[in-house]
Structure 1
Amino acid sequence: MTNEEIYLRLKEVLVESFMIEESAIRPEANLYTDLDFDSIDAIDLAAKIHLVTGKQLKPEQFKNVRTVNDAVEAVAELLRS
């Protein structure tokens, strides 16, 4: 998957699973301050990523994820491993 494909899939997940307005989802959007994520949402997102990729993010891979683009990069790294 390319980063663009990951971004589009992640955007779908955010809209469908977290009821976030599509227009609010931008690469630079902060998950916590712009999209109102909390720690439970972060865990849910990691679980959704596992369902989509078949691979599990380790907590240390996800703890530095702050923006949508950070999440895309984390998934891209996960898929490369």
Structure 2
Amino acid sequence: MSRQEIINLTTRIFVEEFEVDGSVIAPEANFRESLGLDSLDYVDLVVMIEEDFGVKLVEADFKPIITFNDFYTTLENKINAQ
């Protein structure tokens, strides 16, 4: 799966499932502040990522994520490690 496919699919998840304004999703934007998700939303996000990408994210995976680029890289690395 290409990085652009990851970006497109995760953007769809954020916009459709979490009702995030697509204009706040930018590579260098702050991931947590832009999404404004609570802890239960993160659980839902992890489930959706597992279903759509076939990889499992754990709490430790989110710690180094600051920007959307960091999120895409983390996801891309998990997918490529399979």
> Normalized per residue, which structure has more helix?
2
Q: CA, structure 1 residues 29+41, in 2 after alignment: closer, same or farther (shift >3 Å)?
A: farther
Query: TM-score of the superposition, structure 2-length normalised?
Result: 0.83
Determine the structure 2 residue equivalent to 1:68.
68
TM-score normalised by the chain length of structure 1: 0.83
Shift of 1:32: 2.0
Letter in structure 1 aligned against 2:10: L
Runs ≥4 residues deviating over 3 A? none
Runs of 5+ in structure 1 lacking a partner? none
2:55 aligns with: 55
Of 14-23 and 49-58, deviating more is 49-58
- Count of residues paired in the alignment: 81
Counterpart in 2 of 1:30? Answer: 30
Describe the superposition over 1:22-66 as per-residue Cα deviations: whole angstroms up to 9, x where unpaired: 111111121222232233322322221111112211322222223
